[in-house]
Chain A
């Protein structure tokens, strides 16, 4: 029972991070029908920038709370700029190109960012300084750290804020309009380039927060961390129904739970043949199964198949 509670908790924490990153994928896909492969790398950059800022701040003797706020803001600012730059440099010039073209630049961008990060911060895992509260609690038999509680609260707040933004602001309405039909939105006076840029900025800001949280949770970060995280978050977005905001949240949480429970129980299920080292396989299996049996995802509307 304790183990089950623990696995569920871990799954929820992991899943809420996936959900926040998945939001970035889903917003961009909803508007441009583009898989922003570099999104995972933006997440990684957020974590790296935050670690550097915290390192500098600790050296300057700043207290923990303002330091956390400062690091978050720095990571968000850096990632927003990065997201805008990626959009401007790698995607916007190709918006009318064949579909494969922006996908290939996206892959290129992802490799480029990974290697830039590797040159700046090195190949090793770098530790995340323990600035967050380090307390531990027992809830229903599960160990819960303060960082995990912070993650759950932050991600829920972010998801609420994003839902409000998309449903109730002018920008949100413009985003939804472009998602429905870009030419018509343009005819109605929506500045498409500005809205797309804003979408990238918001998605990147979310990715920055997710990156900082994930690094704080594991206590370390590395240039390659964004890649797998990004893939899983993308799987989560597809699971929930890509282009659908609520779907991304649901998909993220579900995928987190599947991974955590799967890794916990796969040994028993297969009689010890497969172990928890297969954890990373689940996301891909889920992705393949969803795409085969319900390509529109759990909450997605039936997308008209364009050949």
Chain B
């Protein structure tokens, strides 16, 4: 068997595995875990979007969740009783992605001259500004319905076939979560495909060049400003798409879903998985979505061993995220599944290490 054939077989096996996964999970662990799986896919999309900004272009964006929020709210406003508009998903989803990209450019234009850490703070501020506006735009004109959020958002439907309901297909009863799983899977594969194709394109190489040394990149003729803006817009559009999907899946959006901790969680996924490496980022997203769910068993364990719940597992989640960020940066800065290039950068010895590291994100002195 030659390598090409083996790759095809592996892809086929992976495809089959992904296709039956929701049914397997439903059977083995219960329908709740299919929902978790759906969220894992959503977060994988978000993480891939942020990966373009942080992983490829090296621009630390701490307000990324704002784009998710923009996409979600646009979908919510255009497909709910809030304004009585009920546009179909094939109009609202791309529109959400486009609006998010526009917001990305809006944020990027004034800020991209800034150095890495300043950029982080400004993007963080931008994320908070969006959230505060979503929270307060219910008066004097009610647009976002304030802290209560928007409810009764339409599910994705194709003709009369709504993904929001259980259906009888091929003699099987297929719940809504499984239908959404396939939709999310398709969207994620599109996102993965775009990311893969971008990675080694002229644009992708320009991003990496900017990440490694902006001055050198500019000297080589990379139009740094536009290329950075493009990174922001691309990343944001993925966020907007995921946001629209989230709104339709959840049927409800409120400003609290788009707070800073969410931004940081997505950053955690990238850092944990391996910045700039697509499989690593997906691994990070799945791990960080599934592990907090597994934390509920910690509550059960406490009840069994200690007789009562001493530490609420939900509270443990953020604590562990914080700890994970610190420990990862100290002991495995390249992530759990880094790209080969990044691994070399972090494990090179002596002078090379110093040189490589010094130029990793920007020149230091």
Identify B333's interface contact among A101, A119, A280, CB under 8 A: A101
A274, closest chain B residue (CB): B136
| Distance A275 CA – B325 CA, assembled complex (angstroms) | 37
Query: For residue B311, which residues in chain A have a CB less than 8 angstroms away from its CB?
Result: 119
Among B115, B128, B215, B264, which residue has its beta carbon within 8 angstroms of that of A111?
Answer: B264
- Which of B45-53, B70-78, B117-125, B250-258 is found at the contact surface with chain A? B117-125
Is B330 close to A, CB under 8 A?
yes
Q: Is the CB of B325 within 8 A of A105?
A: yes
CB-CB under 8 A for A273 and B140, given A96-B354, A97-B329, A288-B125:
yes
**Given A284-B128, A307-B215, A292 contacting B110 (CB threshold 8 A):** yes
> Smallest CB–CB gap between B207 and chain A, Å?
15
| One of A99, A105, A275 near B361 (C-beta < 8 A) | A99
Residues of A67-104 at the interface with B, using a CB-CB cut-off of 8 Å, are 89-90, 93-94, 96-104
Which A residue sits closest to B265, measured CB to CB? A111
Contact check, A112 vs B322: say whether CB atoms are below 8 A apart. yes
B325 and A111 within 8 A (CB) = yes
A-B contact count (CB 8 A): 145
| B side interface size, CB within 8 A | 54
> Which of the residues A35, A114, A275 comes within 8 Å of B117, measured between beta carbons?
A35
Given contacts A100-B60, A306-B363, A307-B363, contact A295 B118 (CB under 8 A): yes
- B139 adjacent to chain A (CB < 8 Å): yes
Chain B 341-365 per-residue mask, 1 if CB under 8 angstroms from chain A, else 0: 0000000000000100110111111
Q: Give the docked Cα–Cα distance between A227 and B76 (Å).
A: 30
CB distance from B256 to the nearest CB of A (A): 13
Count of residues in A whose CB is under 8 Å from the partner chain: 52
Of chain A, the residue at the smallest CB distance from B114 is: A291
- In the bound assembly, the distance between CA atoms of A17 and B267 in angstroms comes to 31
Quick one: CB contact mask for A258-289 with B, threshold 8 Å, 1 for yes?
A: 00000000000000111101101101110110
Name the contact of A107 in the complex, choosing from B136, B325, B358 (C-beta under 8 A).
B325
* Complex alpha-carbon distance, A34 and B117, angstroms: 8
Report whether A116 and B364 are in contact in the complex, using a CB–CB cutoff of 8 Å.
Answer: no
CB pair B326 A109 closer than 8 Å? yes
CB distance from A201 to the nearest CB of B (A): 20
Determine the residue in chain A with the shortest Cβ distance to B213.
Answer: A307
Given the interface contacts A103-B117, A107-B264, A119-B319, does A284 sit within 8 Å of B126 by beta carbon? yes
The B interface, classified by DSSP as helix, strand, loop or mixed, is: helix
Residues of chain A within 8 A (CB-CB) of B124 are 231
- By the criterion CB–CB under 8 Å, are A115 and B136 in contact? no
Whether B326 lies near A291 (C-beta < 8 A) is: no
Is B315 among interface residues, defined by CB-CB distance under 8 A? yes
- Given that A99-B117, A100-B361, A275-B136 are contacting pairs, would A287 and B125 also be in contact in the complex, using a CB cutoff of 8 Å? yes
> Measured between C-beta atoms, what is the minimum distance from A57 to chain B in Å?
28
Is residue A148 contacting chain B, with contact meaning CB distance below 8 A? no
Q: What residues of B have a CB within 8 angstroms of the CB of A94 in the complex? A: 329-330
B85 at interface by CB-CB < 8 Å:
no
Closest A-chain residue to B214, C-beta based? A307
Asked if B318 is an interface residue, CB under 8 A from chain A, the answer is yes
Q: Is A108 an interface residue (CB 8 A)?
A: yes
A200 at interface, CB cutoff 8 A: no
Q: How far is the CA of A280 from the CA of B132 in the complex (A)?
A: 8
Asked whether A110 is an interface residue with its Cβ less than 8 Å from the other chain, the reply is yes
Residue in chain B with minimal CB distance to A99: B361
- Interfacial chain A residues near B120, Cβ < 8 Å: 35, 103
Q: A18 contacts the other chain (Cβ, under 8 Å)?
A: no
- A and B contact pairs by CB, cutoff 8 A, 12 listed: A94-B330, A99-B116, A99-B364, A111-B321, A112-B319, A231-B121, A273-B140, A278-B136, A281-B133, A284-B129, A288-B110, A307-B215
Given contacts A115-B322, A278-B132, A306-B115, 15 further A-B contacts (CB under 8 A): A89-B326, A93-B330, A98-B361, A103-B60, A108-B329, A111-B261, A112-B323, A115-B319, A231-B128, A277-B132, A280-B132, A283-B125, A288-B111, A292-B110, A306-B362
